[in-house]
Amino acid sequence: MHTLEGSHTPASGAPAVRYRAEYEVVGNVVNYRASFSAPGGPSHHEGQFDFDPARVDAASAVESFMQNHIGKADWDVAP
């Protein structure tokens, strides 16, 4: 299983959210388990998403997905 770590600074100016995603690729599907360290306390999320390996590598797809997922917290309930 691959691991990707990073952080996202919300547009609201709130403290950065750090994340760690463990993922595996099966064909054009990424299965992931992610943990987030946010100001409100840690949280976990797992799921899957499709990507096009001819256009983007799996690590970049996971990075983009995590950034988007955390970014949604500015107007939604994610992470």
Q: What is the pLDDT of residue 21?
A: 96
Given a cut of 70, whether residue 27 has pLDDT beyond it is yes
Q: For 15-69, give the DSSP string.
A: PPEEEEEEEEEETTEEEEEEEEEETTEEEEEEEEEE--TTTS-HHHHHHHHHHHH
**2-74 CATH fold:** S-adenosyl-L-methionine-dependent methyltransferases (2.20.130)
Q: What is the pLDDT of residue 3?
A: 97
Structure confidence at residue 74 (pLDDT): 59
Q: In the chain, where are the structural domains located? A: 2-74
Which of the 8 DSSP states describes residue 79?
Answer: -
pTM above 0.85, yes or no: no
pLDDT at site 8: 84
- Per DSSP, the chain holds a count of helices (H) and strands (E) of 1, 4
* Predicted local distance difference test score (pLDDT) of residue 75: 57
